Amino acid sequence: MKYIRRTLYLLLLSAAVNAVPLVWLLAFIFPASFNPKWLWPLLAVFFVLVNIRPLPKKSPTRRIQLLAEGTELLRLFSVTAAVTLPQLVWLYMFCNGLSSDGFGTGVIVAVVIADLLIVTLSLTILFWNGMLRVYLSSVQLGIKHRVLAALCGWIPLVNLWYLHKIIRITSDEAEFETQKYELDAVRAESEICKTKYPILLVHGVFFRDFRYLNYWGRIPKELMRNGATVYYGQQQSAASVEDSGRELAERIRKIMEETGCEKVNIIAHSKGGLDSRAAISHFGMAPYVATLTTINTPHRGCIFAEYLFGKVPESVRQKLALAYNSTLKKLGDTNPDFLAAVTDLTQSACLARNETTPDASEVVYESVMSYCKKAQNGKFPLNMTYPIVKHFDGLNDGLVSVDSARWGDSFTLLEPQGKRGISHGDVVDLNRENIRGFDVREFYVKLVADLKRRGY
């Protein structure tokens, strides 16, 4: 029923948009018998209002409202363009009838050209108004769809197909984000993520906790909307596990001083899980950590990393390390160590470390892992590394194998639905992508809500 109402609404708007040139033309051809002075300006005002506010203001945020409005304008453009074709056929037949009634060919040509110009202008306004809105507000289009849409725009028929694809993507995004906000509004008072101890999110290797480019994507805001208190590890992007563990231990002490909390709940991704284990076992943090949940962490290392590391010449390794370390120093790292970070992710290094890093009895250890079904599931460069990791390590997320990630008292394997997998970046919302069948933000809400339920 909803789709029927929307179709009728779009057809009504489209008819009104097409009526603007028709009314003008009829008034031009029959000035004596057809001259509704009020109808032309009324339709013109209606067209302007539709372009300003195509939908009633009902979305929970300005961004979602802008996205929904842009999608509706693109829909209106599609319907109007389709309705315009039979209108032009009718106009051609109508003008042929006029020529037999004595109207000059020049007048008929002028009428047809004027109609085409006005309709083209109307459609152009609708299209660019809608396209600019979705380009400015959509997260799911990403760079890829924006670039492909611009390229496909020059190819007949292909441009119509890609326009339909953009409408589908942005429509799904607007609907999904609206549902997320409505769900959060319903359960806001419950504060289901208000745990006894604050949440400490620990990032993986080669990333930092930048203020305006959150490693964890939309997850922290979603947790905070549901009552969680969230902190970040803030360790360097690349360093040995021991050095990062020392940094995390200092970070935990500062959080306890600032908040007066007795412990923290750590949720750590990738190498961050190894860093957190080192902080607990080697730097005295066991009494101050209630739970450690590792996400796609290579507890037993990566065989492929060891293989590649051994094959790369020493000179190349040193050049890569120098370039990385000098760049990250400029971005805020005090003493980045590319080679130490990579070495500590190899299988031999991880297995040796496991022997000297026993789990603390007072800490609850849990682990989560996801995997891809094919290389295309991962964004670059994970789509390139996936087949290599699969060859050496088996089922993986583009970097880490499922077997390597299993650790602790409980293990959760995130099974992808359909053909889509869940990559190493997807599991922390690195790409801000809405994956069908896996709501990453809701997964973390449930994870933290379960910590609260168990008294942590």
Identify the residue with better confidence: 50 or 39. 50
Q: Please check whether residues 203 and 144 belong to one and the same domain.
A: no
341 and 418: one domain? Answer: yes
What are the φ and ψ backbone dihedral angles of 92, each rounded to 5 degrees? -65, -45
The answer to whether residues 202 and 330 belong to one domain is yes
* Contact in structure between 184 and 445 (CB atoms under 8 Å): no
pLDDT digits (tens, 9 = 90+) for 178-191: 999 999 988 988 89
* pLDDT band, very low/low/confident/very high, at 360 (cuts 50, 70, 90): very high
Q: What are residue 284's phi and psi, to 5 degrees?
A: 75, 20
CATH number at residue 276: 3.40.50.1820
Of 49, 22, 19, 23, give the one whose Cα is nearest residue 37. Answer: 23
Based on the fold, state whether residues 240 and 278 are members of the same structural domain. yes
User: Contact, 337 vs 240, CB < 8 A?
Assistant: yes
**Structure confidence by residue, pLDDT tens digits, 94-152:** 566 555 555 555 655 666 676 677 778 888 888 999 999 999 999 999 888 899 988 88
- Express each pLDDT in 130-145 by its tens digit: 999 999 999 999 888 8
In a domain, 7, yes or no: yes
Q: How many CB atoms lie within 10 A of CB 53?
A: 10
Within a domain: 137: yes
| Structural domain contains residue 294 | yes
Instruction: Give the C-alpha separation, 278 to 319, whole Å.
Output: 29
Q: Which two tokens stand for residue 133?
A: 């809105």
Environment class of 55 (CB within 10 Å of its CB; exposed 0-12, middle 13-18, buried 19+)? middle
Query: Of 182, 207, 240, which closes a domain?
Result: 182
Residue 91 has pLDDT above 80, yes or no: no
The rounded Cα 171 to chain-centroid distance in angstroms is 14
Q: Answer yes or no: do 104 and 160 share one domain.
A: yes
pTM for this one?
0.84
Segment 162-208, tens digit of pLDDT: 999 999 999 999 999 999 999 998 898 889 999 999 999 999 998 88
- 140, 162, 182 — which closes off a domain? 182
Q: Do 217 and 207 form a contact (C-beta atoms < 8 A)?
A: no
* Average pLDDT value for the chain: 86
Print the SS3 string covering 92-139: HHHHHHHHHCCCCHHHHHHHHHHHHHHHHHHHHHHHHHHHHHHHHHCC
Same domain membership, residue 261 and residue 391: yes
**Single-letter residue type at 13:** L
pLDDT score at 381: 76
Full residue range of the structural domain in which residue 350 is found = 192-453
Q: Would residue 191 be called left, alpha or beta, if left means φ above 0 and alpha means ψ between -120 and 50 degrees?
A: left
Q: C-alpha distances in angstroms, 442 versus 177, 414, 438?
A: 12, 13, 9
| Last residue within a domain, chosen from 125, 153, 182 | 182
Q: Are residues 242 and 310 in the same domain?
A: yes
For residue 296, what are its two tokens? 């796609």
CA 371 – CA 417 distance, rounded (Å): 11
- Separation of alpha carbons 435 and 432, rounded Å: 9
Query: Is residue 187 assigned to a domain?
Result: no
Mean pLDDT within 334-346: 91
Task: List CB contacts of 114: < 8 A, sequence separation 6 or more.
Answer: 21, 24, 25, 28
Task: Mark whether 103 and 196 lie in a shared domain.
Answer: no
Say yes or no: 120 and 222 in one domain: no
Assess whether 151 and 52 both reside in one domain.
yes
The Cα 283–Cα 288 span in angstroms is 11
Q: Give the residue among 20, 11, 25, 9 at the shortest CA–CA distance from 122.
A: 20
Give per-residue pLDDT as tens, 230-281. Answer: 999 999 999 999 999 999 999 999 999 999 999 999 999 999 999 999 999 9
Same domain, 247 and 377: yes
How many independent structural domains does the chain possess?
A: 2
